[in-house]
Amino acid sequence: MAFEAGAAVGAREGGVRFPFPFAPYRIQEEFMAALYRALEAGGVGIFESPTGTGKSLSLICGALTWLRDYEERKLQDEARLLQEPEQRDRESSLGGAPDPASGEPAWVAQFVQGKAARDQADRAKEEQIKRKKREERLEKIRHNVQLKYASKRKKCEDDETERLLQLSKEILSKEAGSDVLEQLDHNEEELILAEYESDEEKKVGAGRTHSQLSQFVHEVQKSPFGKETRLVSLGSRQNLCVNEEVRHLGAIQLINDRCMEMQKNKHEKKNEGEETVGKRRRVSRAVCPFYSYEQMQFLRDEVLVDVKDIEQLVTLGKKTKACPYYGSRYAIPAAQLVVLPYQMLLHESTRNASGIKLKDQVVIIDEAHNLIDTITCIYSAEVSGSQLCCAYSQLLQYMERYRKRLKAKNLMYIKQILYLLERFVSVLGGNVNQNPNTQSISQAGTELKSINDFLFQSQIDNINLFKVQRYCEKSLISRKLFGFVERYGAPSTVKTNKENQKTTGLQNFLLTLQQEPEKEGAPPHPSADPETDQLKMASPLMHIEGFLSALTNANQDGRVILNRQGTISQSRLKFLLLNPAVHFAEVVKECRAVIIAGGTMQPVADFREQLLSCAGMAADRVVEFSCGHVIPPENILPIILCSGPSNQQLEFIYQKRDQPQMMDEAGRILCNLCNVVPGGVVCFFPSYEYEKQVYTHWEGTGLLTRLATKKKIFQEPKRSNQVEQVLAEYAKCIKRCSQAGGHMTGALLFSVVGGKMSEGINFSDDLGRCVVMVGMPYPNIKSPELQEKMAWLDKNMPKTAGQAPSRVLTENLCMKAVNQSIGRAIRHQKDFASILLLDHRYAHPAVFNKLPQWIKERTLIKIGFGQAFAELRKFHREKSCYRPASS
């Protein structure tokens, strides 16, 4: 079933009033009402609300309104359950005639019948007691935190007063004696360290990426629920760590390993032998000063009092000398709203380690347009030949050093892991006892195998991978191996009691693995640091554990890709997950309701078929809702252009797009656009390679010079750390041209679909008055991963409207990317922009119907360039007469 746009806000019995920070748009009221009904019914909801319509605020107000009403109904049901046994007991005390069927007195029959109700009432009584205790503790926390801040302010004022009085006393003492001034001593109030019990009330988990979590939390703070909601923001150590010694490591895996090692050091007592080794080897046994249980309790209490985002959590952690990573997790049981990146939510091991329990909870996944790809990436795994050889060498030395101290069972599992590593290298065509950098591959290429075929080819089908995986999880062997390398330094200096030629050779061999071979002609990495490289190779076994875990998937749900390159070091093993539904099924099964929301969810067929249907979700338990945009229809002009100024048909297929006449036609269209479009023009290309090719061609023909007379040209950088700089210069240029006037009317930005600027960047107002899409960004169908995915879909999915599932997949991937890119321009109600799709294939019904509804219903299909250019010139001329101030 699907909710119809236009449903009344008070459609539910008794009506529902949604608190909002301002008068909501009609589509926001419809969105919140539909969301409320979806949460009430349970199941899965797919919600689409275009960017710029206040989607996040609507999600927050709609979901928290439902949570408020749910908790109120729960209290009412609790009171009713507690009253019913009392009424039944009063009735039974009056006695009655015997039951004619059993001959028992009426009160006995009533007692038997009411036993279930009394048991339910007892559970309600226990829950009521827990809830009251929890509320009392939370109230004490709020009160004591306020006292703490008041005490701090009072102390600061008293200190300043004391300083001034002391200064006055010193001045006056020179002239006459003065009374001794008593020093005021104001001690801060101590916070109550309350241990929270498990909270059974429903929580709303909102999942987004780290870069967007703060924005979401700020929306909560602006909402009417900002003061009363107990919110916890979760993140990775990379974002929440406040220990500078650990933060500077940069890579998240290194940060995780160092954090765990510091915790181990905190609880580990050194024996005399270790102290001796420590003096000789100068081993670092540092502990984290922020990992203090008492201080983390303080941080937890303050998190529950006021809504804080990740940046505020980090600031609070530095101020209180407490770890925000662990302190925030202590607040989860008492929280009403848990905000976390959905990678953390969707990965089962990470979710369990974070203390997230999904049973009967509500999960809202925002920005979920790439949910399927995210699950696929999370549960796929890749290891290089260099990592396999390095892990083998480290683990072998670890076993040789501690062989006499290891239990027989642990020794058996370590030998099994060593055998697995040896076979993985062998299946790539190498030998673990030789340098992977110098072992050349005779037959380079890519080979795909089913899981079972790979196990048989590797000759490891007789090993129980489930037991090996459990051993790795329980023994923490990868972290022990990391500590082994950290403790004894470089492998070449590791000495065992019975040193032999084999071990010495392995130590020397491990030294050669510290640096990856550089490609011929490639410049060295600017940030290359031998110490950092050594750390990066310190825990390769953790990556391999992920690969072993992936091999435990069902045979039909994944494939193993053997990518053999020039050397063993460059060769790789990769597990590709084909069926993401097997991992999403647990989320759907455990939760009361799951809401999948985004600004651009079209086409939604992928979510229904690849994710929900395969996860066992019945079609009648899946609801869809899509609303329009807040802008008036006349503020947007989407055009599908089928041919250019010289009547060249626009068809940027792979076989034709490299033709000079096709690139020239696209250039002529841009030249004409830049003459009539003010401000910024953003032009998207299918790939970085094609953008570079077109740029070079236009540079050679002089067309780039013609474009530069009207717009200053910018290119999207490939490095993420340069994006902000390019955007800032792009915005400054547009603002300068708008204020100065003259022949330069703005800027032209060449961007790439799926690149740094196609998602999460707002080209509002003058930054994006026209968005141009050159061609259709179909994925590379020659990719082995995509080919295997297409084959799996054709085998397991039914045809859609006569089209093969593989064909539908490529179209959906293409149109999702297009929809994300063209939605960058319209960001608020008074914004306006034109959208130009340069390819006649956009007019095909199967493709056209996959555009967002609010764009599709206003799109014009123009065969010739003259008609399209006339529409564009008219649109921008009319809009230039009234241009709202740029935000």
| 600 in Cβ contact with 50 (< 8 Å) | yes
CA torsion, points 666, 669, 671, 676, in degrees to nearest 10? -150
541-552: pLDDT as tens digits: 888 998 999 999
Contacts of 2 (CB under 8 A, 6+ apart): 623, 624, 625
What share of the chain has pLDDT > 90, as a percent? 18
Contacts of 577 (CB under 8 A, 6+ apart): 375, 376, 379, 380, 550, 553, 557, 558, 583
Res 188 pLDDT > 90: no
pLDDT given at position 445: 84
Nearest to 874 by CA among 834, 837, 843: 834
- Return mean pLDDT, the chain: 77
Compute the residue count for the chain. 887
- Least confident range from 34-43, 194-203, 242-251, 869-878: namely 194-203
pLDDT given at position 99: 53
Task: Convert 250-265 to b/e letters by CB count within 10 Å (16 or more is b).
Answer: eeebbbbbbbbbbbee
Higher pLDDT, 695 or 500: 695
687-713: pLDDT as tens digits: 999 999 999 999 899 999 999 888 899
Task: Give the model's confidence band at 179: pLDDT under 50 very low, under 70 low, under 90 confident, else very high.
Answer: very low
Res 606 pLDDT > 70: yes
Average pLDDT, integer, range 276-297: 67
Same fold, 204-262+288-361 and 636-881: yes
Average pLDDT, integer, range 345-362: 85
Task: Give the model's confidence band at 189: pLDDT under 50 very low, under 70 low, under 90 confident, else very high.
Answer: very low
Residue 805 structure tokens: 């599932």
DSSP H helix total and E strand total for the chain: 34, 18
pLDDT given at position 831: 84
Task: Give the model's confidence band at 161: pLDDT under 50 very low, under 70 low, under 90 confident, else very high.
Answer: low
- 3-class SS string, 563-606: EECCECCCCEEEEEECCCHHHHHHHHHHCCEEEEEECCCCCCHH
pLDDT given at position 853: 85
- 3-class SS string, 404-472: CCCCHHHHHHHHHHHHHHHHHHHHCCCCCCCCCCCCECCCCEEEEEEHHHHHHHHCCCCCCHHHHHHHH
Residue 484 structure tokens: 């082994």
Task: For the domain covering 636-881, report its CATH number.
Answer: 3.40.50.300
417-450: pLDDT as tens digits: 999 999 999 998 888 887 777 777 767 788 899 9
Higher pLDDT, 367 or 152: 367
Q: Where are the domains of the chain?
A: 204-262+288-361, 381-488+539-579, 636-881
C-alpha–C-alpha distance, residues 666 and 697, integer Å? 11
pLDDT given at position 652: 92
Average pLDDT, integer, range 779-799: 88
pLDDT given at position 163: 56
| 310 in Cβ contact with 233 (< 8 Å) | yes
631-659: pLDDT as tens digits: 888 889 999 999 999 998 999 998 888 89
Task: Give the model's confidence band at 498: pLDDT under 50 very low, under 70 low, under 90 confident, else very high.
Answer: very low
Sheet of 337-340, strands arranged across: 231-233, 337-340, 204-207, 362-365, 593-598, 43-48, 622-626
Residue whose tokens read 């797919």 = 46
Res 484 pLDDT > 60: yes
Res 88 pLDDT > 50: yes
Higher pLDDT, 433 or 270: 433
Distance of CA 281 to CAs 82, 182, 245, 249, 490, Å?
Answer: 68, 55, 20, 22, 11
What share of the chain has pLDDT > 70, as a percent? 75
Residue 802 structure tokens: 């006569």
Residue whose tokens read 């006649």 = 840
Q: May I ask the CATH class of domain 381-488+539-579?
A: mainly alpha
Which of 71-85, 768-782, 824-838 tops mean pLDDT? 768-782
Res 151 pLDDT > 90: no
Average pLDDT, integer, range 481-501: 53
Average pLDDT, integer, range 306-329: 89
Res 105 pLDDT > 70: no
pLDDT given at position 464: 93
Res 758 pLDDT > 80: no
* Dihedral class, residue 221 (left if φ above 0, else alpha if ψ from -120 to 50, else beta): alpha
Distance of CA 742 to CAs 136, 694, 709, 737, Å?
Answer: 68, 28, 11, 8
| 229 in Cβ contact with 65 (< 8 Å) | no
615-626: pLDDT as tens digits: 888 888 888 888
Distance of CA 280 to CAs 362, 460, 491, 497, Å?
Answer: 55, 42, 16, 16
- 3-class SS string, 789-809: HHHHHHHHCCCECCECHHHHH
C-alpha–C-alpha distance, residues 790 and 813, integer Å? 12
Q: Residue 363, SS3? A: strand
Task: Give the model's confidence band at 293: pLDDT under 50 very low, under 70 low, under 90 confident, else very high.
Answer: confident
| 487 in Cβ contact with 450 (< 8 Å) | no
C-alpha–C-alpha distance, residues 633 and 855, integer Å? 9
- Least confident range from 148-157, 175-184, 261-270: namely 175-184
pLDDT given at position 143: 67
Q: What is the largest CA-CA distance in the chain?
A: 108
pLDDT given at position 144: 65
- Least confident range from 77-81, 464-468, 675-679, 776-780: namely 77-81
Task: Give the model's confidence band at 156: pLDDT under 50 very low, under 70 low, under 90 confident, else very high.
Answer: low
Res 205 pLDDT > 70: no
pLDDT given at position 511: 42
Nearest to 317 by CA among 239, 256, 248: 239
CATH 3.40.50.300 fits domain 204-262+288-361: yes
